[in-house]
Structure 1
Amino acid sequence: MKEFWVDIRPWNKEAALAAIEGGATALLLNSSEEGRSLARIPIIAPDGDLIEGRDFHRIEIIDKATEEQAAEYARLDRVIVRTTDWTVIPLENLVAVSDRIIAEVSDAHEAAVALGILEKGVGGILLNSQDPEEIRSVAALLEADGGTLPLLPLTITRITPVGVGDRVCIDTCSLFDEGEGMLVGNTSSALLLVAAETLENPYVSPRPFRVNAGAVHMYILSPDGKTRYLSEIGSGETGCAITGEGQSRTVSVGRVKIERRPLLLVEAEYEGRVASAVIQNAETVRLIGEDGVARSVVELKEGDRVLGHLMTGGRHFGVAIDETILER
């Protein structure tokens, strides 16, 4: 999830409200009292929650030495970076070595450039604008900027019941579109795209905020690119919603339901690599086909092709590492 900080100095209530409603993660103010009555949100101020030098650093890039100083700061802390002529090269160099870079920008155009650097973009935006419409425009860019994941068509090789177990439903604070879901899997390096419950069904109404993700032991891809166990996900955390084209966005988790249900093991293969998932044996649970259409697990058969995401290397506490790990 990328940071979205907005500079509201001097105080402007309309701009502050636009920032809060747009999902800002912090406000830069002259005094923390200015924003306390509007919402619970971190405030960057002399008496605020975030203090320069303790929670972040701020530096203007004027030459190679200041670029190197910013890179040094970014090893441990977030760094607000401003360039004198808004050249891209210094930001490219910094983004290449750290995901803690926050680019200071003045409008949506500059924000779009910063978010597109080296494809993954900066770790966040500090918007220096009092214009509510400009704030909303940048907020929209950030909401849409979850990046793109390469999805592959995997051929199903096995579908078999595995008895009853504990499965996880993730209820988010957002509505999913058709063909959108979350990536889960038995192994951290091979995940399948499970669809949200957006489609009509003769037995239950659609629940377009929900992904019936699967058994508690499985991995799920998070917005930061790490994997977590489904059993670890809880209310107030974030998840990664992904379309059939691989476009991702961050969604907030409102509730998690863990219940005992009959389960299916689904295995699929792509060029010798196997992805698998243990998901609930129910008509409302669907995988996304290679055409982007959600297909119920009760209708899937061997030879069908579904979308998944394959990664290289192993994972240690969810973080990718260059290590050989065998998972079956």
Structure 2
Amino acid sequence: MKLSWLDIRGLGELKEAVLQEALHHRVEGVVTDDPADLTGLPPTLSRVLFPTGDALPDKFGEATIVVVDPARHGVTPAELALKHPDLEFGRFVEITDAPTLEEACEAARTERWSLLLFRDPTKIPLEIVIAAAARSTGSLVTVAADVEEAEIIFGVLEHGSDGVMMAPRRVGDAAKLKAAAQESVPDLDLTELEVVGTEHIGMGERACVDTCSHFREDEGILVGSHSKGMILCVSETHPLPYMPTRPFRVNAGAIHSYTLSKDERTHYLSELQTGSKVMAVDIKGSTRMVTVGRVKIESRPLLSVHAVAPNGRRVNLILQDDWHVRVLGPGGAVLNSTELKPGDRVLGYLPSEDRHVGYPIDEFCIEK
């Protein structure tokens, strides 16, 4: 879990509403320059004091973390820690050139907390600091101008910053920041499905989903005709005759088919477009979100694959009727769809809820 800190300094009348929203969405920290703002906040929240003036207050109130700028405040975190062993201290660094970048790297290596403000739009300096802190036990918190930048910061160099501090502009920004900090996608419990038959069903449109990511050999996306049953379609990472591998692509299925996105929301393959998010899944059920670069929809002969789960639930997948279109079986076996026969086993997923505009919902619904 990444850390989300809300900077409430200078919010004025908006401050109380933002605080309530922060508590409701369980952000990890609130940053202020006034110790009075921290009074009465719950112990589950990091209460961060970051004075804006040149002098530190005589008392830190109920702060649990105090961030200082040694150049402005005239004291280092280490010196303060000796006087206040019950508090944690951090160093603020504004990165504008090579010397301040080196200062940030040193802070990342040695301080318990490093609060970093990068003035240039490039994220290369942040990459350097993250690399410098690779073996550090401290935490990096990077200032973001908005939620969009926060999402980028969380993903820099794959590891990303440990946290983001952002000043909200309106009520609702706390919820968006917290959502951006949710770096992991819950794993899924895959199940083995038994193929009970296939049939050639004629022409239709199928979608190739081309992503901005490199799929692993045991990874693909879940696709199915019904929201309560999907089959794991493998990416084109495996060699094929007559064409090169395309490790970013999944020849996924007919355009009416469902696939999974964040929070297990379903999307029709026909809805996907540049910038959409889909869930990549491997044979162990490990998941990650990947970004769609494009979707290719073309008319092709189609094959309908019928399978059944151990609990009797029937699953259907309609995909391109061609030998090179594949699905994944137990142990990562790569199975050519046109060679599937009754008794073969494929990997699938059985969502437990029906769908309304893609969102899980517990209601009466029959799909057939």
TM-score category, normalised to shorter length: 0.5 to 0.7
1:236 corresponding residue in structure 2: 275
Matching residue's letter, 1:180: E
Indicate the SS of the match to 1:298: helix
The separation in 1 between residues aligned to 2:10 and 2:335, in whole angstroms, is 54
Q: How far did 1:58 drift? A: 4.4
Q: 2:260 aligns with which of 207, 210, 221?
A: 221
1:198 and 2:237 equivalent? yes
2:27 corresponding residue in structure 1: 80
Indicate the SS of the match to 2:364: coil
User: Could you say if the C-alpha distance between residues 194 and 85 of structure 1 is closer, same or farther in structure 2, counting changes exceeding 3 Å?
Assistant: same
The separation in 1 between residues aligned to 2:312 and 2:207, in whole angstroms, is 29
1:179 corresponding residue in structure 2: 218
1:257 and 2:296 equivalent? yes
1:160 corresponding residue in structure 2: 199
Matching residue's letter, 2:279: C
2:336 corresponding residue in structure 1: 296
Indicate the SS of the match to 2:160: helix
Q: Which runs of 5+ in 1 are unaligned?
A: 8-27, 30-43, 60-65, 89-104, 107-126
The separation in 2 between residues aligned to 1:158 and 1:242, in whole angstroms, is 25
Q: How far did 1:158 drift? A: 1.2
The separation in 2 between residues aligned to 1:282 and 1:207, in whole angstroms, is 16
The separation in 2 between residues aligned to 1:143 and 1:80, in whole angstroms, is 11
Q: How far did 1:57 drift? A: 3.5
The separation in 2 between residues aligned to 1:320 and 1:224, in whole angstroms, is 9
1:139 corresponding residue in structure 2: 160
Deviations 1:203-238 (A, max 9, x none): 211100001111111111112211111110000111
The separation in 2 between residues aligned to 1:86 and 1:6, in whole angstroms, is 13
Matching residue's letter, 2:160: A
2:23 corresponding residue in structure 1: 70
Deviations 1:118-146 (A, max 9, x none): xxxxxxxxx97435335558539989832
The question of whether the paired residues in 2 share the 8 Å contact of 1:144 and 1:249 is answered with no
User: Could you say if the C-alpha distance between residues 58 and 197 of structure 1 is closer, same or farther in structure 2, counting changes exceeding 3 Å?
Assistant: farther
The question of whether the paired residues in 2 share the 8 Å contact of 1:143 and 1:249 is answered with no
The separation in 2 between residues aligned to 1:128 and 1:169, in whole angstroms, is 44
Deviations 1:158-217 (A, max 9, x none): 111111101111100000000100011101111111010110011211100001111111
The separation in 1 between residues aligned to 2:299 and 2:15, in whole angstroms, is 49
Rg (Cα) greater in structure: 2
Indicate the SS of the match to 2:204: strand
The separation in 2 between residues aligned to 1:214 and 1:159, in whole angstroms, is 14
1:317 corresponding residue in structure 2: 357
User: Could you say if the C-alpha distance between residues 260 and 139 of structure 1 is closer, same or farther in structure 2, counting changes exceeding 3 Å?
Assistant: same
Indicate the SS of the match to 2:330: coil
The TM-score, its normalising length taken from structure 2, stands at 0.57
Q: How far did 1:81 drift? A: 3.5
Identical columns (%) = 37
The question of whether the paired residues in 2 share the 8 Å contact of 1:223 and 1:249 is answered with no
Indicate the SS of the match to 2:270: helix
User: Could you say if the C-alpha distance between residues 325 and 167 of structure 1 is closer, same or farther in structure 2, counting changes exceeding 3 Å?
Assistant: same
1:287 corresponding residue in structure 2: 327
The question of whether the paired residues in 1 share the 8 Å contact of 2:300 and 2:320 is answered with yes
Number of matched pairs: 238
1:209 and 2:209 equivalent? no
User: Could you say if the C-alpha distance between residues 245 and 163 of structure 1 is closer, same or farther in structure 2, counting changes exceeding 3 Å?
Assistant: same
Larger RCO of the pair (alpha carbons < 8 Å, separation 6+): 1
User: Could you say if the C-alpha distance between residues 202 and 138 of structure 1 is closer, same or farther in structure 2, counting changes exceeding 3 Å?
Assistant: closer
1:99 corresponding residue in structure 2: none
**Bigger helix fraction:** 2
Q: Which runs of 5+ in 2 are unaligned?
A: 30-40, 47-64, 67-112, 117-128, 134-138, 141-156, 163-180
User: Could you say if the C-alpha distance between residues 260 and 45 of structure 1 is closer, same or farther in structure 2, counting changes exceeding 3 Å?
Assistant: farther
The separation in 2 between residues aligned to 1:140 and 1:244, in whole angstroms, is 29
Matching residue's letter, 2:349: H
Q: How far did 1:301 drift? A: 1.3
2:312 corresponding residue in structure 1: 272
Matching residue's letter, 2:223: V
Indicate the SS of the match to 1:308: strand
